[in-house]
Copies of this chain bind each other. A is one copy, B any other.
Amino acid sequence: MKLIWKPFTLQFKHPFRIAHGVRSSTAVMYIRIDHEGFSGYGEASMPPYLGESHESVAAFLGRLDLAQFKDPFDISSIMAYVDQVADGNTAAKASVDIALHDLACKLLGKTVHAYYGADPDRAPFTSFTIGMDEPELIRSKIEETDGFPILKVKLGGTNDRLIIETVHASTTKIFSVDVNQGWTDREYALDMIYRMKEMNVSFVEQPFDRFNLDDHAWLKEQSPLPIIADESCQRYTDIEHCRHAFHGINIKLMKCTGLSEAKRMIDYAQKCQLKILIGCMSESSCAVSAAAQLSPFAQWADLDGPLLIKNDIFEGLKFVCGKITLSGLPGNGAYLKETVFD
Q: How far is the CB of A37 from chain B (nearest CB, A)?
A: 28
A288 to chain B, nearest CB (A): 20
Distance in angstroms from A122 CB to nearest chain B CB is: 6
Cβ of A119 within 8 Å of any chain B Cβ, yes or no, is yes
In angstroms, how far is the closest chain B Cβ from the Cβ of A172? 6
- Taking a contact as CB atoms closer than 8 A, the residue among B119, B174, B275 that contacts A323 in the complex is B174
A149 to B126, CA, bound (A): 13
B275 with A149: CB separation less than 8 A = no
A162-184 to B contact mask, C-beta < 8 Å, 1/0: 00000000001110000000000
Within 8 Å by CB of A147, from B172, B300, B320, lies: B172
* Copies per complex of this chain: 2
* Minimum CB–CB distance for A317 against chain B, Å: 14
Which chain B residues border A202 with CB–CB below 8 Å?
121
User: Does any Cβ of B come within 8 Å of A98's Cβ?
Assistant: no
Within 8 A of B (CB), among A200-220: 200, 202
User: Which residues of A approach B to under 8 Å, CB–CB?
Assistant: 119, 121-122, 125, 147, 149-150, 172-174, 200, 202, 226, 275, 299-300, 320-323
A149 near B323 with CB under 8 A, answer yes
- Cα distance, A332 to B21, chains bound together (Å): 46
On chain B, the residues within 8 Å of A323 by CB distance are 149-150, 174
Known A122-B299, A147-B149; 16 more pairs at CB < 8 Å = A121-B275, A121-B299, A125-B149, A147-B172, A147-B173, A149-B149, A149-B321, A149-B323, A150-B321, A172-B320, A172-B321, A173-B320, A173-B321, A174-B320, A200-B320, A200-B321
